[in-house]
Amino acid sequence: MLHTNRKAALWSLVVVMGALLCFLVFAEKPWDHSEKIAERIAAGKSPSLKQEILVGLYQAASVNLALCTLLLASLKLWTRPMEEKSGSASRSLRSGGGDLDPGVTKAFLLLVALAVFLGGALRWNLASKSLWWDELWNAKQTYHGSFKTGEDGTKNFQSHSFQRALWYYKKPTNHVPFAVSARLSLKGWQFVTGRSPAEFNEFVLRLPSFLASLGAIAGIAILLRIWGMGRAGILAAFLFAIHPWHIRYGIDGRSYSLAIFFTVLACAALTFALQRRAWRYWLALDSASFYSSGAILCLPFSPPPSPW
C-alpha cells in the first residue's frame, strides 16, 4: 500500500478524468475523418500526420479514462490517509525526509564543469567528422532526405517530413527521439544560416547527441550527489567524460546518448518520487523512462490502417 494522501489522489483522478471526458466529448472524432482516411489508404497512401495524431490521441484518451476509472474504483486498495505530522517532522516530510543530499558546493560544481568541458573537448572533433553508414542511412531515409533522379535525368532533392521522422520504420534503425531532434536541429540551422533544405552539417546533425552526452556527464555526478555520494559522482563524471565507448557512441547520430541521459534523469526522478511522494516526480519518471526506452521501441510503429 502506498503512503499516498487519499484525498489528493481522489481529486487528482477526478481532474484527470474530467479533462479526458472533455477531450472525448469536444475534440474532433476519428470517425468524422473515416472517409478521408479510407480514401488515402485506397490510394496507397498512409493517413496524414494530423489524422494519425487524432486517432492516436482519441484511442489513448479512451484507454486512460478506463484506467483512471479502475484506479478510482480501487482507491482504498492502493492508498491510505496520510497521518499529519507536526513541527520538525512535518517539515522533514515536506523537504524529502532528510535522506537526500541535493546540496552542492562550489568545488563540486567546478569539478563537474571541468568534467563536462573535458568531455566536450574529447567529443568535439569526432562530432564534426563525416557520417557513419547507419547515421547516413537514417538521415537519407527518415528525417533529412536524398536526391532522386527524375525521368529527364535531372536530380532533385526530396526532403522528408516530420511525419516520416515519427513513423518510418521499414527497417529497424529509426530511433525516433534522435530523428525528431536532429530534424529540428537541421531545420533551425538552415533557417538561421539561410541554407537550402538539401544542405546539412555533420555537427549540427549530431548536436542533440552531443548535448545529451554532456548532460549525462553532469547528470551522473548530480545523481550520485543526491544519493549522498558526491565524491563517487565526480569520479563517475570524469569516467563518463573519458570512457572510449561513451565518447564514440556519445556523439553518434542515434539515440544512444539520449537513452543514457534520460536514464540518469529517470533515476533522479525515481529517487525524489520515493522520498518526497509528489506526483510531479512520478510524472517526470514516466516521461524520462518513455524517452530513454519506450519511445525507441514503440513510437516508430505506425498505427495499422483503420477506417478511423
Condensed to tens digits (0 to 9), the pLDDT of residues 259-270 reads 899 999 999 999
pLDDT tens-digit series, residues 40-97? 888 888 888 888 888 888 998 999 999 999 988 888 877 766 555 444 444 444 444 4
Q: In angstroms, what CA-CA distances link 152 with 146, 147, 149, 155, 156?
A: 17, 14, 8, 9, 11
- Within a domain: residue 208? yes
Shared domain check, 109 and 51: no
Cβ-based burial of 161 (10 A; exposed 0-12, middle 13-18, buried ≥19): middle
- Within a domain: residue 83? no
Question: What does the longest C-alpha to C-alpha distance in the chain come to?
Answer: 82
Q: How confident is the model at residue 110 (pLDDT cuts 50, 70, 90)?
A: very high
Of the chain, the end-to-end C-alpha distance in Å amounts to: 40
pTM of the model: 0.67
Q: How confident is the model at residue 298 (pLDDT cuts 50, 70, 90)?
A: very low
Shared domain check, 107 and 47: no
Q: What is the pLDDT of residue 83?
A: 54
- Within a domain: residue 308? no
10 pLDDT higher than 70: yes
- Count the neighbouring beta carbons within 10 Å of the beta carbon of residue 189: 17
Shared domain check, 238 and 144: yes
Q: What is the pLDDT of residue 206?
A: 92
- Within a domain: residue 306? no
176-193 and 256-276 helices, crossing angle to 10°: 110
- Bridge partners of 145, per DSSP, are 159
Q: How confident is the model at residue 302 (pLDDT cuts 50, 70, 90)?
A: very low
Shared domain check, 219 and 192: yes
Shared domain check, 19 and 106: no
Q: Which of 90-104, 177-191, 252-266 has the lowest mean pLDDT?
A: 90-104
Question: Taking a C-beta distance cutoff of 8 angstroms, is the pair 288, 276 a contact?
Answer: no
- Within a domain: residue 305? no
What mean pLDDT is reported for the chain?
81
- Within a domain: residue 86? no
Q: What is the pLDDT of residue 86?
A: 45
Shared domain check, 229 and 254: yes
Enumerate long-range contacts of 198-203, CB under 8 Å, 24 or more apart.
198/145, 198/147, 198/157, 198/159, 200/139, 200/144, 202/127, 202/128, 202/129, 202/130, 202/131, 203/127, 203/128
Q: Which of 75-79, 116-120, 224-228 has the lowest mean pLDDT?
A: 75-79
- The CA distance from 31 to 101, in Å, is 53
Domain that holds residue 146: 92-298
Q: What is the pLDDT of residue 104?
A: 64
Q: Dihedrals φ, ψ of 271, to 5°?
A: -60, -50
Residue type (1 letter), 89: A
Q: Which of 48, 78, 108 delimits the end of a domain?
A: 78
Q: What is the pLDDT of residue 216?
A: 95
- Within a domain: residue 38? yes
pLDDT tens-digit series, residues 122-160? 999 999 898 888 888 888 888 888 888 777 778 888 888
- The CA distance from 223 to 267, in Å, is 8
Residue written as grid cell 517530413: 161
Q: Which of 27, 53, 78 delimits the end of a domain?
A: 78
pLDDT average, residue stretch 1-27:
81
Shared domain check, 162 and 276: yes
Shared domain check, 111 and 254: yes
Domains contained in the chain, number: 2
Shared domain check, 65 and 96: no
Q: What is the pLDDT of residue 82?
A: 55
Q: Which of 21, 55, 78 delimits the end of a domain?
A: 78
Shared domain check, 44 and 110: no
- The CA distance from 45 to 71, in Å, is 40
- Count the neighbouring beta carbons within 10 Å of the beta carbon of residue 56: 12
Q: What is the pLDDT of residue 171?
A: 65
Shared domain check, 130 and 14: no
Q: What is the pLDDT of residue 211?
A: 95
Nearest to 205 by CA among 155, 254, 239, 168: 254
- Within a domain: residue 52? yes
Q: How confident is the model at residue 255 (pLDDT cuts 50, 70, 90)?
A: confident
Question: Taking a C-beta distance cutoff of 8 angstroms, is the pair 80, 3 a contact?
Answer: yes
Shared domain check, 249 and 217: yes
Contacts of 219 (CB under 8 A, 6+ apart): 261, 264, 265, 268
